Amino acid sequence: MEDVILRGKSPLELGLMELVNFLNQCPPESVCLTPGVALSEVHPKFKKQCSEIYEVFLSIFCPQMVDHPTATRNSQDKIENTKKLKFNELPIGEQYLHSISYYSLIQIHIIDSKYSDLTGLEKFKMYMDSVCDDIDMLSAVEAEVAKYCFSTKKEHYSQDLKDRIQDIKDNFLDRHSNPKKHLDNIFNGVQDLKYGKSALKYSEEFFYGKNQETWVLTLDSKLYWLSESIHHYPVEGEPHSKFYSIVRTPEQESCEYWQSVDRALNERLGLRKHEGKVDSPLSEKDMENLHSILLGKGFSDFEDEFNSNKCVN
């Protein structure tokens, strides 16, 4: 949208016309469009400009979308921060929300670095051991990220599969020689996962008396690939996040690596179910414990592996 408004580029060439045409064909008040989640990742000093560009774009291409009656934005009265918040500066509720993902991604980085001589399957099994032993949680989405991060691009893979693996790796295994910035990069990956979680959280909630569906619109390839590989769905009133489906391409279905990691995850989940460790909503005490483990063991393990005296490629 910024390229269209500020640089005069074509929305057709940028892939925006499908969205524009869809929105313009929707019945009045059937769809609400919000940039709220995306703007949360923008550096605070650019938020006002980005929000204004968003409104200008819609006023030109989708005038019926400006501005929804329930909008609460009041840019004149709101004082914007000029600094992007770090994890420890977030409200405690947001820290709790990110704790499982943050701890899981830290372990992925540590295992990939520390055990580079192991096979992808061995790394994945070690990852499952780590999160099950330490936080007693095995989140399907983070496990799917781990499968891609520990995979290798075989010569016989199609270019599409190579691109999918590389896009996800580039995002979730983004390292830096500076441990502090390396940790920031991991947290950026954590924040990417919140898009799917936000859609799950608000789907099926009632909005002005109507049951709503929540969708994420993105041109971000790694989020698209990840959502293609795993998605959640509700079952008989259960939360969206409880049941999930893994989707494999025919190429992945015939690949030994993907068969083995999927089988390993199913076996571990079956074992946990047999042990009585079924998924259930986390209590406030559970969230406190997870947060405490992240701040303690999670960050300590990261520091041990990626301290300032070590070189990170």
Confidence label for 311 from pLDDT (cuts 50, 70 and 90):
very low
∠ CA 145-255-132, rounded to 5°: 35
**pLDDT given for residue 240 in this prediction:** 54
Confidence label for 312 from pLDDT (cuts 50, 70 and 90):
very low
Provide CB contacts within 8 A for 258, sequence distance 6+. 147, 151, 248, 252
pLDDT digits (tens, 9 = 90+) for 77-131: 455 555 667 888 888 988 998 999 999 999 999 999 999 999 999 999 999 999 9
pLDDT of residue 32 exceeding 70, the answer is yes
* Greater pLDDT, 248 or 200: 248
* Greater pLDDT, 1 or 237: 1
| Candidate from 106-115, 249-258, 272-281, 299-308 with smallest mean pLDDT | 272-281
**pLDDT given for residue 74 in this prediction:** 54
**pLDDT given for residue 64 in this prediction:** 84
pLDDT digits (tens, 9 = 90+) for 213-254: 888 888 888 888 898 898 877 676 565 556 788 999 999 999
**pLDDT given for residue 68 in this prediction:** 57
Q: What are phi and psi of 233, to 5 degrees?
A: -155, 150
Overall average pLDDT of the 171-198 stretch: 89
Three-class SS state of 207: strand
The two three-digit tokens of residue 252, written as one number: 């992945």
Answer for the pair 50, 2: CB distance below 8 angstroms, yes or no.
yes
CA dist list (Å): 246 to 58, 171, 178, 232, 257: 35, 20, 35, 9, 15
Overall average pLDDT of the 205-213 stretch: 76
Q: Which amino acid is at 275?
A: E
* Greater pLDDT, 310 or 165: 165
**pLDDT given for residue 109 in this prediction:** 97
pLDDT of residue 274 exceeding 70, the answer is yes
- E-assigned strand segments in the chain: 206-207, 210-211, 230-233, 243-246
**pLDDT given for residue 313 in this prediction:** 40
Overall average pLDDT of the 202-207 stretch: 72
**pLDDT given for residue 266 in this prediction:** 94
**pLDDT given for residue 67 in this prediction:** 65
Tell me what percent of the residues of the chain surpass a pLDDT of 90.
Answer: 53
- Average confidence score pLDDT of the chain: 86
